[in-house]
A and B are shown apart, each in its own frame.
Chain A
Amino acid sequence: MTDEKPFLDIRNAKKSYGKLEVLKDISLRVNRGQIVAIIGPSGSGKSTLLRAINDLDPLTAGEVWLEDVQINKKLPHRQYEKHINQVRQNIGMVFQHFNLFPHLSVRENVTLAPKMLKGLSDDEAEELAREQLEKVGMIDRIDYYPSRLSGGQKQRVAIARALAMKPKVMLFDEATSALDPELVEEVNLVMKKLAEEHMTMVIVTHEMGFAESVCDRVLFMDQGVVVEEGPPEKIFRNPDNERTQNFLRKHLANANR
């Protein structure tokens, strides 16, 4: 691993709901251009960790930094709102259930935030939308409404929507879990393309094969702690920890059924 200054830095993250500890002192450093996958059983805290990065689920303790800005700064409400809205423009997020805006066309979904927040003109926004939709292969659906798209198509538009803000980091929260199996691949291809462009990404996923093929590093989480982390070949082929071995064995058995 390089000793380059980390790009995204999570320090001693803790999160609890009442007595229930969901994250127990987790630290994670991601370098620029790195792709990190987080795997683990459901309820392991992996989504919570991801959603803490852009402060959707604020941490109970710990710090999150992007370059030299602390994301989860304690600020008075108004200042915090201003700060977090600024920060989130740099962090793209893709959800399991797409969360496309159903009352807006594909074009409007992609251009809404750039126009509102970056003051892009109609022409500039149109160009931006075309560029991003081209990238995810959805340019021919630019005038459609989300209700007329398949799940895979929706997710590709959701990725374009996030990319249109030119984020420094992309977060993927089980982006393919809600898709029918035959639609998973088209979304994976888009994510691979981003990987080739050296987009910094943090990916929560159930797709072990995909994680192995694109990621630089894999974290296995269970019960709120990082049980094991390392390069994918190590984690998937030769894990040290017994819990990792068990999880992967079960997962493989399920996948092959």
Chain B
Amino acid sequence: MDVDLMMRVYPFFLKAAVVTIELSVLTTILGLIMGSLGAAARLSRFAALRWIGAAYVSVIRGTPALIQLFILYFGGPQIGIQLDAFSAGVIGLGVNIGAYMTETIRGAIIAIDKGQREAARTLGMSQVQSFRKVVLPQAARLMIRPLGVNINALIKGTALVAPISVIELTYTAQRYIGSTYKPFEMFLLAGVLYMVIIYVTGRGIAWLDRRARIV
């Protein structure tokens, strides 16, 4: 193993890891917004909204994220959407993970017993009140862990922006594999950084989950 080489190039990997983290954070935020909207649509009273929500989930989950990204980044200009690679990455990945989060959030909401809603309604709360004060707080607790699974997948999924030349971890590893012919060393550098990011995120989610349980 070429430790010297690894010592020489690791600063570039660290810089790339920062990009991966930025991508992950922004994608998570967009994913949560899309997921909430998606879940609201799928649970809506209006059939048209339900249909739109279902179509969003089905199409996005039924096709590769890489293709979705390519359509947005390479095909976008044809329909008047001109994005730099990083923005295209955040939007593409966010919309993608949003479909998975839609199902997570919806699953948590419908897991809350119907009796809870009925009890709130018999106290005289409105539909919106009973949802906000009774159902959502309980569902939020339930969805922390599965959303954590989504976020874990999302962090690894940020690698998909390498083919559109966002200089994040996988792109950097690929570049250095090409120029140094040391695939194992480069894999190790990138791999360790990914695992650190995932580990720290996992701990954070576990902490949130514990806290939510005590409350």
The short answer to whether A and B are in direct contact, CB under 8 Å, is no
A contact residues vs B (CB 8 Å cutoff): none
